[in-house]
Amino acid sequence: MVATPPNLDREDSFLRVAGFGIIEVLVSLSLLAVISVAFVPLLINTVKNSAGNTTIATAAQIVNREIEGARAVHSPTATAPSCYDVTQYLQVTLATVIDPRGVVLVPRWDSAACPSTYPGVVRARVSVSRSGQSNPVAQAVTLIFVKSAT
Handedness of CA 46, 47, 51, 57 (dihedral sign): positive
Residue 7 inside a domain? The answer is no
Pairwise CA distance, residues 78 & 146, whole Å? 11
Q: What is the pLDDT of residue 21?
A: 83
Residue 5 in any domain: the answer is no
Q: What is the spatial distance between Cα 116 and Cα 119, in angstroms, rounded to a whole number?
A: 9
8 in any annotated domain: no
Q: Does 91 map to a domain?
A: yes
Between the CA of residue 102 and those of 28, 105, 126, 134, what are the distances in Å? 42, 9, 22, 18
Residue 114 has pLDDT above 80, yes or no: yes
Does the N-terminal peptide bond of residue 119 adopt cis geometry, omega within 30 degrees of 0?
yes
What's the number of domains the chain is made of? 1
Q: Residue 11 falls within a domain, yes or no?
A: no
Its pTM stands at 0.70
pLDDT of residue 6: 58
Residue 81 pLDDT: 84
Judged against a pLDDT cut of 70, whether residue 51 lies above it is answered with yes
Structural domain of residue 39, as residue ranges?
Answer: 19-146
pLDDT, the chain, mean: 86
Residue-level pLDDT at 126: 95
